[in-house]
């Protein structure tokens, strides 16, 4: 029997309220000048409520990025999907879309967000790839699969990052040009 953890809806609402406030303030202020008071004033909650959910402004930033990355990746990728050309294309397009929207939303804080966004995307992708690879290769060692998942996640993020800073093509065109060569010729 599987049990699901009950989360009080008030906690979910409060965290969402704080995340929305953080995102709004992040559009108006640089991270180093933003305070917990700014966030709590915008969310209309007290500091104790904030600290009941988050350690500091960096913790809420990390949580907000993680939640939005997971939402974006999970909305495009069915966890039971097979790791194939289409899956890699969909993930690439999702990553590039997330990088673009985060950059546009957080122009004032793009430098501060950059490393954290990269870290979170790589971690989330690694978990997704590991799950997909384990389904397709259950007899392989977990360490080998984890290394392969890390290789894929870092590589795909690196290509998405390169696309963002160097390409004028759409993500779809960019990945459709490169991925078939990799999967059909190099990995043949």
Provide the token pair at 129. 């790839």
Residue 117 CA to residue 99 CA, distance in Å, equals 8
Q: Are residues 50 and 61 in the same domain?
A: no
Pick 1 or 39 by higher pLDDT: 39
* Alpha helix (H) residue ranges in 29-109: 36-43, 47-53, 57-76, 85-105
Q: Are residues 40 and 98 in the same domain?
A: no
Query: How many CA atoms lie less than 13 Å away from 9 in the CB half-sphere?
Result: 0
Kindly report, residue by residue over 51-73, the tens digit of the pLDDT. 999 999 989 988 887 787 777 77
- Structural domain total, the chain: 2
DSSP-assigned letter for residue 107: G
Domain-embedded: residue 1: no
Q: Which H or E run includes 21?
A: helix 9-28
Q: Are residues 44 and 64 in the same domain?
A: no
Domain-embedded: residue 20: yes
- Mean pLDDT of all residues in 12-27: 91
Q: Are residues 36 and 61 in the same domain?
A: no
Residue 12 CA to residue 20 CA, distance in Å, equals 12
Provide the token pair at 182. 């990799």
Range of the domain at 26: 8-54
- Tell which residue, 15, 22, 24, has the closest CA to residue 49: 15
Q: Are residues 104 and 146 in the same domain?
A: yes
- Indicate if the pLDDT at residue 110 is higher than 90: no
Residue 79 CA to residue 11 CA, distance in Å, equals 26
Q: Are residues 102 and 154 in the same domain?
A: yes
Question: In the prediction, which pLDDT does 104 show?
Answer: 72
Q: Are residues 66 and 89 in the same domain?
A: yes
Q: Are residues 48 and 65 in the same domain?
A: no
SS3 157: helix
Question: In the prediction, which pLDDT does 69 show?
Answer: 74
- Mean pLDDT of all residues in 106-120: 71
User: Cα 151 to chain center, whole Å?
Assistant: 17
Q: Are residues 77 and 114 in the same domain?
A: yes
Cβ burial 28-64 (10 Å sphere, 16+ → b, else e): eeebeebebebbbebbebeeeebeeebeebeebbbbb
User: Cα 118 to chain center, whole Å?
Assistant: 8
Q: Which H or E run includes 8?
A: none
Q: Are residues 89 and 40 in the same domain?
A: no
**Averaged confidence pLDDT in the chain:** 84
Q: Are residues 21 and 79 in the same domain?
A: no
Question: In the prediction, which pLDDT does 188 show?
Answer: 46
Q: Are 163 and 89 in contact (CB under 8 A)?
A: no
Q: Tell me the percentage of the chain whose pLDDT exceeds 70.
A: 86
Question: In the prediction, which pLDDT does 17 show?
Answer: 95
Q: Are residues 70 and 85 in the same domain?
A: yes
- Indicate if the pLDDT at residue 39 is higher than 80: yes
Kindly report, residue by residue over 132-168, the tens digit of the pLDDT. 889 888 999 999 999 999 999 999 999 998 999 899 9
């Amino acid at each position: 029997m599987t049990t699901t953890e009950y989360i009080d809806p008030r906690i979910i609402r409060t965290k969402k309220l704080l995340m929305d406030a953080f995102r709004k303030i992040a559009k108006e202020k640089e991270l180093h000048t933003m305070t917990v008071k700014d966030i709590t004033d915008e969310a209309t909650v007290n500091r104790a409520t904030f600290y009941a959910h988050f350690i500091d402004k960096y913790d809420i930033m990390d949580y907000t990025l993680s939640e939005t990355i997971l939402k974006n990746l999970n909305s495009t990728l069915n966890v039971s999907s097979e790791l194939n050309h289409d899956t890699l294309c969909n993930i690439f397009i999702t990553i590039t879309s997330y990088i673009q929207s985060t950059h546009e939303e957080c122009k004032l804080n793009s430098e501060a967000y950059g490393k954290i966004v990269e870290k979170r995307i790589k971690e989330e992708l690694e978990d997704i790839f590991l799950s997909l690879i384990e389904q397709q290769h259950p007899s392989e060692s977990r360490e080998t699969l984890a290394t392969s998942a890390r290789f894929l996640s870092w590589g795909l993020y690196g290509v998405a990052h390169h696309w963002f800073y160097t390409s004028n093509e759409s993500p779809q065109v960019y990945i459709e040009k490169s991925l078939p060569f990799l999967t059909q010729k190099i990995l043949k």
